[in-house]
Amino acid sequence: MSSTNTRVVLREYAPDGVHSPDCFAIDDSQPIPNDKTLKKGQVLVQVSALSVDPHQRLFISPPPEKPTIKSAFRYPLGQAIFGIGVGTVVASKNDAFAAGDKVRSESMPWQSYAILGEDQLIKLPASDSALSDHVGVYGMAAFTAYLGTIYAGKPKAGETIMISAASGAVGQVAVQLAKARGLRVVGMAGSDEKVEHIGSLGADAVINYKTCGDLNAAIVEAAPDGIDIYFDNVGGEILDAALLNLNPLARVVLCGSMSTYGAAQSKIRGITNLPSIIVKQVTLQCIYYLPHYGTQRETDFLQEMTRLVEQGKMQFRVDERIGLESAPQALADLFAGKNFGKLIVKV
Amino acid sequence: MSSTNTRVVLREYAPDGVHSPDCFAIDDSQPIPNDKTLKKGQVLVQVSALSVDPHQRLFISPPPEKPTIKSAFRYPLGQAIFGIGVGTVVASKNDAFAAGDKVRSESMPWQSYAILGEDQLIKLPASDSALSDHVGVYGMAAFTAYLGTIYAGKPKAGETIMISAASGAVGQVAVQLAKARGLRVVGMAGSDEKVEHIGSLGADAVINYKTCGDLNAAIVEAAPDGIDIYFDNVGGEILDAALLNLNPLARVVLCGSMSTYGAAQSKIRGITNLPSIIVKQVTLQCIYYLPHYGTQRETDFLQEMTRLVEQGKMQFRVDERIGLESAPQALADLFAGKNFGKLIVKV
């Protein structure tokens, strides 16, 4: 093990929306902190696994030319980026945490060791098997899929749900949750390999949006009774085509917008079909997992997922990368759609 | 009174999205129906007032080149168009209706006399004063404003609501309902005269979107605490700018899309700012009044409106045109934003 505290530092905002590994630098100039470094209340954590997530793309995009109070957050240049991660407490000056405790943080720095405050940490049950499951099958992406499919989607058996990026971290869970509730599931993905995987998860029909030709015709064929729930992870053209095929009282889950996160504002393809859904009384619900942590919904999620995992009804494909040195490429792969399953960096 | 049954007939779909009065013809070739014309169960109604409504624009637009089952409805060519209207029963072969009854229909043909079935008619209370109030202050537009502001908006005193087309039929009611609930109200309109009128209804700030320059800056100034509810009647650029200024947990009411109804699909300015609202957990709710008729919500609406009217807290500006001959121009004026208040044709 290195004697320095390896960090993934943001070197420059992605020019022209292209997030190459060169946007980052691996920095080994800092020593590993020790308990003498800790202030009262602080906790030293050895980081073990990091969640690589689509919303980070926005944080690495060039800031707007005219920033406002409401401008979206950007990572500061020259500092370690951060996200969802898990680790083990190695030293603590906080009564709520002791060495050996397993913890999760929503603001875990991408470095070997991190000093964190109490409000940045959630203690995980000691009984758990793999710590990395908390950025995997029980992690944010799966919770997001639950919130979108169950809480916002309000699914009824026999309805049709369409899920974009259905082989992704969120999508694969949404497919299986919906199948477990008795829905007809239409998946969407951009490669034959992914399409096959989505079929193996139980989807009733899968569209390869890159090869299907006329997208609208493909949706009509895959969802002949119309769409009752559309779970959107991509935005853009696919969202617009889905809107045209919604049933009255349909629910649209706005969960992500992979197709636009990296694009310059002027190049984003706008959504034109909102007017057509007004008389259908559609509800569009934006989903963000963070405020739901610690609520009854998280308890329900963990119960349903544990049950489905035990029954063998929940596969969760992980695309695991080893070492912080692999992190810049992992981010670039995610943003280019080259991952296959939930991307995790094991530190 | 003419001895023929004057009708407003659709002659052609609006070419290039421009709805001129020439799209229609006034037809006087049909005789007035009499009770001998009625079949069992039918009712003959003398039409007294017709509601001129934005959603009719879509029904007059050219059908899509590749129609599908889910293509939006279009009025058939060569027939009388129809919409919301009120009238008086003059003959009936239906036990539920008698001569002299006041009735409302959601599918009232734009003609002097109409034969309608039971499922197309709602009997109005005999006690009512002006029949045309049922296409006015107690009509669809006001009910839509109630559904958007109260049911979908879920307003809390002290919050900020922004309302586009705030001098329109729906907007003017939304402004006053929101003020009565203690909200900060930001109105939007496209002329100084309308801006002044919206101010006279109690709005705290009004934006003239045609003269304000940078729309985003104008919104930031008018809603310094951000927007909690955005009541959208116009779509397009204004909707997109509103999305940028929403607070977390904001509600967007998708009620109309005046700015796009007449436009060719290829010329519609797409909405690009949906990705920015995902982490804010915004809800977008499409509102359509029809399915809410007869529910508790309609009862609540009529109670609240009656009270506000009696208290002098609800002005309802009507733009009244006289005679079916004025109907083609009334429609063209509505679609060009040249009306001022709720457009009604008195037959």
Distances (CA, A) of A34 to A46, A80, A121, A235: 11, 19, 18, 45
Quick one: pLDDT at residue B263?
65
Quick one: pLDDT at residue B257?
83
Nearest to B272 among A216, A270, A286 (CB): A270
What is the ipTM, given to two decimal places? 0.84
B-chain residues near A277 (CB < 8 A): 254, 286
Kindly identify which residue of chain B lies nearest to residue A72, measuring between CA atoms: B276
Q: With an 8 Å Cβ cutoff, is B3 touching chain A?
A: no
Q: With an 8 Å Cβ cutoff, is B217 touching chain A?
A: no
Nearest to B275 among A261, A278, A287 (CB): A261
Residue A71 has pLDDT above 70, yes or no: no
B-chain residues near A58 (CB < 8 A): 275
Q: Do A283 and B287 touch (CB under 8 A)?
A: no
Residues B107, B290 contacting (CB under 8 angstroms):
no
In whole angstroms, what is the distance from residue A150 CA to residue A261 CA? 25
Residue B44 has pLDDT above 70, yes or no: yes
B-chain residues near A279 (CB < 8 A): 55, 286, 288, 290
Q: With an 8 Å Cβ cutoff, is A270 touching chain B?
A: yes
Report chain B's mean pLDDT, rounded to a whole number.
91
A-chain residues near B284 (CB < 8 A): 283-285
pTM of the model: 0.86
* Per-residue pLDDT tens over the stretch A89-133: 999 999 999 999 999 999 999 999 999 999 999 998 776 568 889
Confidence band (pLDDT; 50, 70, 90) for B17? low
* Per-residue pLDDT tens over the stretch A228-285: 999 999 999 999 999 999 999 999 999 988 777 666 666 777 999 998 899 899 999 9
Quick one: pLDDT at residue B312?
93
In whole angstroms, what is the distance from residue A322 CA to residue A48 CA? 10
In whole angstroms, what is the distance from residue A28 CA to residue A31 CA? 8
Task: Kindly state the percentage of chain B with pLDDT values over 70.
Answer: 95
The amino acid present at A197, given as its one-letter code, is H
* Per-residue pLDDT tens over the stretch A288-298: 998 898 899 99
* Per-residue pLDDT tens over the stretch B102-160: 999 999 999 999 999 999 999 987 765 688 899 999 999 999 999 999 999 999 999 99
Q: Do B282 and A286 touch (CB under 8 A)?
A: yes
Q: Do A254 and B274 touch (CB under 8 A)?
A: yes
Residue A1 has pLDDT above 70, yes or no: no
| Candidate from A19-23, A29-33, B196-200, B247-251 with smallest mean pLDDT | A19-23
Quick one: pLDDT at residue B264?
65
Q: What is the 3-state secondary structure (H, E, C) of A206-227?
A: EEECCCCCCHHHHHHHHCCCCE
Residues A3, A76 contacting (CB under 8 angstroms):
no
* Per-residue pLDDT tens over the stretch B294-314: 899 999 999 999 999 999 999
* Per-residue pLDDT tens over the stretch A196-225: 999 999 999 999 999 999 999 999 999 999
Report chain A's mean pLDDT, rounded to a whole number.
91
